[in-house]
Amino acid sequence: MGMTLTEKILAAHARLDRTEPGDLINAKVDVALGNDITAPIAIDQFYKSGAKGVFDKSRVILVPDHFVPNKDIKSAMQAKKLREFAREQELEYFFDGGEMGVEHALLPEKGLVLPGELIIGADSHTCTYGGLGAFATGVGSTDLAAAMITGEVWLKVPETIKFVYKGELAPWVEGKDLILYTIGDIGVDGALYKAMEFTGPVIQELGMAGRLTMANMAIEAGAKNGIITADEITEGYISDRAVREYEFFKSDEDAEYSEIKEYDVGNIEPQVAFPHLPENTKGISEVGEIILDQVVIGSCTNGRIEDMRSAASVLMGKKVAKGTRLIVIPATPLIYRTALDEGMFDIFLDAGAIISPPTCGPCLGGHMGVLAKGERAVATTNRNFVGRMGHPESEVYLANPAVAAASAVLGKIGGPGELQ
């Protein structure tokens, strides 16, 4: 019996000939990542253990991206702890100030996470890097501390569900819609502690931005990781960025899956996830009259340059509806500068948008767009739990960047087709 993509990567990092679902392994870590919320706890545990140094100064990466620019004294102290630790440990990759970007957009852009690697991060959306053909998963801060010290992590090998996407994408349907539709089908616990392997002709044609978006939201189905086989598109994205050598893995033809699900994407229209779970999805044609207070375009899910372009193409020559706030957040300094150079800032500003520096801020109700009681928002983010973006009595609807942009113009949830 062959192995799945996930099983192969884990076997290689555990220095084993093979792994099977349920195996408990100690595996070598290629990257250990922390941010300004989770890393301070890990740093405290690091010192409590008596450790003097990290296992590799180029493999422990810290990115303060959630509450920066710092919103208050507490967040400033958290970021300061990262700065001091990075300086003491002489970490090669610490991103602060004008170098800082949303971690899960920044690391792929910098070539710091690569195909075939095992990556852990004290952030649940670390699974994003599966879009590159890596095994990537979120861990707790204590596990991060242990990995910073030892360079290893303890894992249980997950079963794998194979998702096969066939057909032709309809206009304005993006990777975000494929993963929202999938979560709507299987539910938020439909892949609990399993690998979600995304395959099929549609995935093979999907650009890297869409792949990273799909892997990013695997956790919203309860998955241990999301993963896509690295190929020519991956090579084209990573070859000039990679800071290390990398290896492509692929599933064996006789690999065993816990389940195989197939979708005809021609039946999928732009999706909207209703409060208060990502599984509460509806096609855009099924959405009724939902008036909006705010729209957010950005985050580790949809803050890449392709997302900016999608939103700009909808907003060009149009105005944001009165009474609706539009916040656009390029996810990294490079994306910010590229959007500026391509004239997108003129489009956003002429439409009446607010352009934010890179930050996770509003996604987790931290800052730069917190919702008040009773307010409704459409966001290109990944979660719409109760109170996720602010007051417990606010509402968050998830959508792709084109739908979000159109909704900002309409002042209610709607698709780009309604603007034509």
At position 171, the amino acid (one-letter code) is: P
Question: Are 292 and 376 within 8 A, CB to CB?
Answer: yes
At the fourth CATH level, which superfamily is domain 5-262?
Aconitase, domain 3 (3.30.499.10)
pLDDT (0 to 100) of residue 80: 95
Helix, strand and coil in the chain, % to nearest 5 = 40, 20, 40
Tell me the mean pLDDT per 10 residues along the chain, length 420. Answer: 96 96 97 96 96 96 93 94 96 95 97 98 97 97 97 97 97 97 96 97 97 98 98 96 96 96 96 96 94 97 97 97 97 98 98 96 88 97 92 97 97 87
Q: What is the domain partition of the chain in residue ranges?
A: 5-262, 272-414
pLDDT (0 to 100) of residue 415: 87
Asked if domains 5-262 and 272-414 share a fold, the reply is yes
> Tell me: domain 272-414, CATH 3.40.640.10, correct?
no
pLDDT (0 to 100) of residue 365: 84
Put simply, whether the predicted model's pTM sits higher than 0.85 gets the answer yes
